[in-house]
Amino acid sequence: MDRKWVTMGDVARAAGVGKITVSRALRTPSKVSADTLEKVQKAVVALGYVRDETAGALSSQRSRVVGALVSTLEQPVFASTIRGLEEGLSAGGLQLLLGSTRYQPEKEALMVSTLLGRRPDALVLTSSDHTEDTRRLLSGAGLPVIELWELPETPIHAAVGFSNRAAGHDMARHLIASGRRAPVFLRTDRASDTRADMREKGYLDALEGHAPRIHSLPPREDQGGPDYGAEGLAQVLQRWPDTDAVICVSDALAVGALCEARRRGIDVPGALAVTGFGDIDVAGAAALDLTTIRIDGAAIGREAARLTLAACDGEDIRGRRIDLGYQLIRRATG
Amino acid sequence: MDRKWVTMGDVARAAGVGKITVSRALRTPSKVSADTLEKVQKAVVALGYVRDETAGALSSQRSRVVGALVSTLEQPVFASTIRGLEEGLSAGGLQLLLGSTRYQPEKEALMVSTLLGRRPDALVLTSSDHTEDTRRLLSGAGLPVIELWELPETPIHAAVGFSNRAAGHDMARHLIASGRRAPVFLRTDRASDTRADMREKGYLDALEGHAPRIHSLPPREDQGGPDYGAEGLAQVLQRWPDTDAVICVSDALAVGALCEARRRGIDVPGALAVTGFGDIDVAGAAALDLTTIRIDGAAIGREAARLTLAACDGEDIRGRRIDLGYQLIRRATG
DNA sequence: GCGCCCTATGGTATCGATACCACCACTTGC
DNA sequence: GCAAGTGGTGGTATCGATACCATAGGGCGC
């Protein structure tokens, strides 16, 4: 299974030039004569040479790798973010080293340190809730850090996202304005899901005299699919039978809650409004037609890639907060 | 923004030992006395040292990185596969370098060569359709290659997946056995989606005299969400008005087709059966209750991680084909 | 015609870790 | 009591690329 890799020296010998010339021919072709360039390119093809980027990283102190951490890949919106990020970065010649934290700050701390071991040129974090350890590591590392999906007051360096609080507020406001009297906020109770926390805060902001009703489902291994939402609605109705709206913290929960409501013969949206968050692709399908908040995940990723490339280019990105907003999509369920 | 990284030499000086001892303390603690170990660990914490893995990779010729390519992350089943893979690998001390090919073999060729530049210890490919260039690169590179989601007759080295052909066959068989006379196979027409091709072959195998009806939707930028499935059903019904079953190549298409059928007032499953592929989490929700083929994406990832770790341990994995099967989930739509 | 600069190229040191070998201080066996 | 082992430690070369400096050769201005 083992084979020696072709090295730059091999290519140099084959092309009859010095190896530094090979390096230049590949990295900065403009600094090499057309003649030499061709010889080198021929030798590269003939030998099937692939440059060892790790060696290059060591000597140039630039790895051309960006570390990224997501809470989970299994929510399609995050997957879209990663796609946008990957596309943007690879266009700029950067590669993506990926990890997931599963909403656990301790896991994040571990992963950050693992990623730093690869000496990435930048770090992208899909979260803004970090342990003290993480913050210390990051501030000591001296590399650009970009936070996504939230807009903290004082980001570590820069952030790309939207206001979860405002979004939660708008949704609650919308329901109250259309006559709902007893809206419930349904969420999972993960220890550190700051996005859910902020949406909940927004919900509370919007109540204006209505009684706050927050129902938290205990965290589970799976990330909270529709089954969980169905269960959640059952609990909510038992706890507050007069509920007339359920604001779910995610579309997955909302789909479950909606189906459970229909199963029980509850009139949606007549007797009960159900709303989601994220606008996953099935949310708009006719059988569901869910009212929700649309987030453009891919755009967040693309914007993050733009910022990253700028930072790698030496630009100072500290303090930048890019708000990409959200959109309340009013459909049939509320 | 720049700061010098702490090196192993710094730690060695602080701990009053040689730097090779530091290396051993971190990599193989058992070979160092308890006393020295403690001194080193203290120095590591005090200085906030993070080992430079790229330098380590260069000298040990083992990068502890695994390159992975997926067709897309936006199908939840692939996201699950990546989660399974990542969990398995990180438990074994390996990191994941991720790229996506968007179902384009040329993009795959490019990404493989980019990944090889990082000198990964293994490669995981979510596809079995490779260009000649890719095959040459891979065979020359001399590293373990694991293909997922398909079971080619002769994998490059090893494969983990299931028979897409058998799954397509079983679904068609199931519908015909329950009395359907004119089943249609609905798919998107991507140039190189071999999984869809195999499912289609399976469908054809099962027809036994019934007329083959395959409707291909032209490829589009988005990966084919429910909207596309709705459009697809409309086209199918126009082309073959007597259609009594639609076998969709993915759940996303099926959800769209199902909703479109209901919108038109078609009796499902009475007049029309609709089936999907993948069993995404909303498929089972009451409002959809889709008949589909369940694939355990996470298990595929975990099994791939196991194989990868074995291969990195020196085991010869050539010729292994691990069949994880699938499950026909019969629900309300057929 | 001389000196200057600019382009193209090569040599050598270097990045930060690990492999390999050497060595020392003990213990163990006979 | 001495050779042979063993566990712990350090020195030095090395991995494969790039940075930095040096150099050769030509064109051009004065």
Same domain, A263 and A318: no
**pLDDT (tens digit per residue) in A41-73:** 999 999 999 999 999 999 999 999 999 999 988
Mean pLDDT of B64-93: 92
Question: Is B1 within a domain?
Answer: no
A47 touches strand D (CB under 7 A): no
Same domain, B183 and B205: yes
Q: pLDDT value at position B2? A: 53
* Cross-strand bridge partners of residue A70: A100
Mean pLDDT of B203-209: 94
Mean pLDDT of B150-158: 92
Q: Domain with A22 in it: what CATH number?
A: 1.10.260.40
* D27 C1' to A35 CA distance, Å: 20
List CB contacts of B184: < 8 A, sequence separation 6 or more. Answer: B213, B214, B215, B236, B240, B243, B245, B246, B247
Q: pLDDT value at position A50? A: 93
Structure tokens at A147: 């936070």
- Contact between residue A107 and residue A50 where contact means Cβ atoms under 8 Å apart: no
A34/A301: higher pLDDT: A301
Provide the residue range defining the domain that includes B179. Answer: 164-294
- Contact between residue A203 and residue A185 where contact means Cβ atoms under 8 Å apart: yes
Question: Is A233 within a domain?
Answer: yes
Mark the nucleotides of strand C covered by protein, meaning any atom under 7 Å from a CB. 7-20
Q: What mean pLDDT, rounded, does chain B reach? A: 92
Structure tokens at A123: 């770090």
A52 touches strand D (CB under 7 A): yes
B26 touches strand C (CB under 7 A): yes
Same domain, A19 and A88: no
**pLDDT (tens digit per residue) in A305-326:** 999 999 998 899 999 999 999 9
Q: How far is B225 from chain A (nearest CA, A)?
A: 6
Q: pLDDT value at position A136? A: 87
- Contact between residue B152 and residue B128 where contact means Cβ atoms under 8 Å apart: yes
Question: Is B333 within a domain?
Answer: no
List CB contacts of A245: < 8 A, sequence separation 6 or more. Answer: A175, A180, A182, A183, A184, A272, A273, A274, A275, A334
pLDDT of A227 strictly over 90? no
Query: CA separation (Å) from B41 to A328, B34, B36, B49?
Result: 52, 10, 9, 10
Q: Provide the chain B residues 273-312 that lie in CB contact (below 8 A) with chain A.
A: 281-282, 284-288
Q: pLDDT category, A282, cuts 50, 70, 90?
A: confident
3-state SS assignment for residue B80 = helix
Q: How far is B128 from chain A (nearest CA, A)?
A: 20
3-state SS assignment for residue A148 = strand
Q: pLDDT value at position B222? A: 65
List CB contacts of B323: < 8 A, sequence separation 6 or more. Answer: B151, B161, B162, B163
- Contact between residue B149 and residue B141 where contact means Cβ atoms under 8 Å apart: no
Chain A residue numbers with beta carbons less than 8 Å from the beta carbon of B82 are 73, 98
pLDDT of A3 strictly over 70? no
- Identify the DSSP state of A37: H
Of B54, B76, B285, the CB nearest to A259: B285
For residues B74 and A81, what is the distance between their CA atoms, to the nearest angstrom? 10
Output the CA torsion B175→B177→B180→B183 (10° steps): 50
Q: pLDDT value at position A150? A: 93
Question: Is B226 within a domain?
Answer: yes
Question: Is B243 within a domain?
Answer: yes
User: Which of A102-106, B88-92, B326-330 is modeled with the greatest confidence?
Assistant: B326-330
Q: pLDDT value at position B325? A: 97
Mean pLDDT of B308-322: 93
Q: B329: how many CB neighbours lie within 10 A of its CB?
A: 15
For residues A300 and B81, what is the distance between their CA atoms, to the nearest angstrom? 24
Same domain, A214 and A263: yes
Same domain, A268 and A184: yes
Q: pLDDT value at position B103? A: 85
Q: pLDDT value at position A182? A: 95
Of B51, B72, B287, the CB nearest to A288: B287
pLDDT of B100 strictly over 70? yes
Same domain, A129 and A178: no
Same domain, B29 and B124: no
For residues B137 and A225, what is the distance between their CA atoms, to the nearest angstrom? 41
Question: Is B68 within a domain?
Answer: yes
- Contact between residue B283 and residue B253 where contact means Cβ atoms under 8 Å apart: no
Chain B residue numbers with beta carbons less than 8 Å from the beta carbon of A55 are 58
Q: Domain with B215 in it: what CATH number?
A: 3.40.50.2300
Q: What is the CA radius of gyration of chain B?
A: 25
Mean pLDDT of B53-73: 93
Structure tokens at B246: 């639609």
- Identify the DSSP state of A157: S
Q: pLDDT category, A222, cuts 50, 70, 90?
A: low
Q: pLDDT value at position A102? A: 86
Q: pLDDT category, B143, cuts 50, 70, 90?
A: very high
For residues B210 and A146, what is the distance between their CA atoms, to the nearest angstrom? 57
**pLDDT (tens digit per residue) in A288-297:** 889 999 999 9
For residues A75 and A224, what is the distance between their CA atoms, to the nearest angstrom? 10
Question: Is B83 within a domain?
Answer: yes
Same domain, B271 and B176: yes
Same domain, A43 and A136: no
Mean pLDDT of A132-154: 91
B17 touches strand D (CB under 7 A): yes
Report yes or no: A48 at the B interface, CB cutoff 8 Å: yes
Residue type, A232: G
Q: pLDDT value at position B198? A: 95
Same domain, B125 and B66: yes
Question: Is A114 within a domain?
Answer: yes
Q: pLDDT value at position A254? A: 94
CB-based contact B50 A113, cutoff 8 Å:
yes
Same domain, A188 and A232: yes
Structure tokens at B165: 């052909």
- Contact between residue A305 and residue B249 where contact means Cβ atoms under 8 Å apart: no
pLDDT of B1 strictly over 70? no
* Closest-CA residue to A282 (of B106, B280, B328): B280
Query: What is the domain count for chain B?
Result: 3
Q: pLDDT value at position B102? A: 86
Query: CA separation (Å) from B112 to B118, B131, B133, B150?
Result: 10, 11, 10, 19
Mean pLDDT of A74-86: 91
pLDDT of A1 strictly over 80? no
Residue type, A14: A
* Percent of chain B with pLDDT strictly greater than 70: 98
Q: How far is A174 from chain B (nearest CA, A)?
A: 25
- Identify the DSSP state of A266: -
Residue type, A198: M
- Identify the DSSP state of A194: H
Q: What mean pLDDT, rounded, does chain A reach? A: 92
CB-based contact B252 A316, cutoff 8 Å:
no
Residue type, B244: D
Cα-based angle B215, B219, B224 (whole degrees, multiple of 5): 85
For residues A80 and A139, what is the distance between their CA atoms, to the nearest angstrom? 28
Same domain, A171 and A191: yes
Cα-based angle A197, A203, A205 (whole degrees, multiple of 5): 105
For residues B12 and A106, what is the distance between their CA atoms, to the nearest angstrom? 28
